[in-house]
Amino acid sequence: MGPESEVLVRFRDVEKTYDGRVNVVDRLDLEIRRGEFLTLLGPSGSGKTTILLMLAGFEAVTAGDITLNDRSLRNVPPFRRNMGIVFQNYALFPHKSVFQNVAFPLVQRRLSKHAVSEKVEAALRMVDLTGLGERRPHQLSGGQQQRVALARALVFEPEIVLMDEPLGALDKKLREQMQIEIKHLHEQLGMTVAYVTHDQGEALTMSDRVAIMNDGLIQQVGSPHEVYEKPANAFVANFIGENNAFEGRIEGSDGRNCVVRLASGDIIRARSAAERANGEAALLSLRPERLVIGSAAADMANRFGAKVVEVIYFGAHNRVRLAMAGRDDIIALAPAGTAGEALAPGAAVAVGWAPEHCRVLAPE
């Protein structure tokens, strides 16, 4: 975490309950740094949208406090929090023009007509909607409507922009295009963004840091690389990307690596972030792209013989299901055009991976 001056928003022991019994957000401690793109990622019901609503002031905090620039927001109404908000359903005024929609926050702040016009035109240029100010929302595509909502959120230069599943209603290609556009805007403007999504790819693509939520609790906060390559627990490993999980017991250490014996009797060498006691139960995480198939596996510290169960072609790679170590559900990704093309169900292959790519996870 950077110096105190870099922290824009701070959640301190924040809890939220609707019925007085179950916390939908529980003991939340989280900081959002000025200028960063922080994504709250998790399944439906994990508490991520509730966190955003409490920050915006649309939901009251049950316990704890939220501060903006070290000042409590407890008694600050939503319209005085200086936060831009973008929703999935755009929330545009259908009877107003694009210009009037974008101008709305400025009119509410009683800026002069000249200032409103200048700022709206600048915001429309920013989101590539120049010349469309007189149109109504229904005359625009879904992507254009989302750009209008984004321009409206940015036009008054808020302290932070809150986005709740803003791309959920768009088709895949447009959604991926908008991800890059929003990320570029974030970089160009240096704006602070708190973003909510259940889409792991979106979170990894756009974020400086990701806070992974489940059952009202933060499971891990880190860079996209950290949460993907070094998951803190089984939930994170399984929620972000595809994961091969192995269960076994610690048999000792081999330098920087743990030696783990599986129920099948096979030995795996894996990297652990903490000391592990002999005999302790171990849960291992191995990403499919880290498995090497074929002759290159010969030099790996972890080497197994395996049988190909299934091969699915994905264009750039093949998804290969393998039977090995007493299992028939191990997934590997093999590049198409290399070893991948020669793979066929029933084939015997060598499989290997490096210890540093197999993680011993924290016990649940």
The tens digit of pLDDT for each residue in 209-249 reads 999 999 999 999 999 999 999 999 999 999 998 999 999 99
Predicted pLDDT of residue 339: 52
CA atoms of 180 and 171, how far apart (whole Å): 15
Angstrom distance (rounded) from CA 60 to CA 110 = 28
Does 266 lie in the same domain as 168?
Answer: no
What pTM value is reported for the model?
0.89
Q: Fill in the amino acid letter for 206.
A: M
To the nearest 5 percent, what fractions of the chain are helix, strand and coil? 30, 35, 35
Residues 228 and 300 in one domain: no
User: What pLDDT sits at residue 8?
Assistant: 97
Is the model more confident about 254 or about 30?
A: 30
Q: Are 15 and 130 in a shared domain?
A: yes
pLDDT in tens, 33-92: 999 999 999 999 999 999 999 999 999 999 999 999 999 999 999 989 999 999 878 789
Residue type, 272: S
Whether residues 81 and 18 fall in one domain? yes
Indicate the residue among 212, 238, 264 that finishes a domain.
238
Q: What is the mean pLDDT of the chain?
A: 91
**Rounded to an integer, what distance in angstroms lies between the CA atom of residue 24 and that of residue 13?**
13
Query: What whole-number distance in Å separates Cα of residue 251 and Cα of residue 258?
Result: 8
Flag whether pLDDT at 337 surpasses 70. Answer: no
Tokens in use for 47? 């508490």
Q: What is the CATH number for 319?
A: 2.40.50.100
**pLDDT score recorded for residue 4:** 46
- What is the predicted pLDDT for the residue at 2? 41
Residue 142 has pLDDT above 90, yes or no: no
- Asked if pLDDT for residue 314 goes beyond 80, the answer is yes
What confidence score (pLDDT) does residue 5 get? 47
Angstrom distance (rounded) from CA 326 to CA 265: 9
Kindly state whether residues 154 and 20 are assigned to the same domain.
yes
User: What pLDDT score does 170 carry?
Assistant: 84
pLDDT at 3 over 90: no
pLDDT at 242: 92
Residue 80 carries which DSSP code? G
Check whether residue 255 and residue 230 sit in a common domain: no
Could you tell me the strand order of the sheet in which 71-72 lies?
23-33, 7-17, 63-68, 71-72
User: Quick one: 211 and 114 in the same domain?
Assistant: yes
Residues 108 and 202: their CA atoms lie apart, in Å, by 33
| CATH number of the domain to which 96 belongs | 3.40.50.300
**Burial of 277 by CB count in 10 Å (0-12 exposed, 13-18 middle, 19+ buried)?**
exposed
Beta bridge partner(s), residue 270: 258
pLDDT at 277: 85
Here the tokens at position 158 are 């808020």
Looking at 198, 217, 238, which one is the last position of a domain? Answer: 238
> What does the buried/exposed string (b/e) look like for 298-336 if buried means 16 or more CB atoms within 10 Å of the residue's CB?
eebebebebebbebeeeeebbbbbbebbebeebbbbbee
Domain residues for the domain of 246 are: 242-360
192: left (phi over 0), alpha (psi -120 to 50) or beta: beta
225 and 351 assigned to the same domain: no
How many domains does the structure of the chain reveal? Answer: 2
Q: Same domain for 222 and 327? A: no
CA–CA gap between residue 343 and residue 309 (Å, rounded): 10
What would the pLDDT profile of 255-295 be if each residue is shown by its tens digit? 778 999 999 999 999 998 778 888 899 999 999 999 999 88
Q: Kindly state whether residues 49 and 132 are assigned to the same domain.
A: yes
> Which of residues 187, 214, 238 is at a domain's end?
238
228 and 124 both lie in a single domain: yes
On whether both 225 and 332 belong to a single domain, the answer is no
The token pair that represents 275 in the structure block: 């000391």
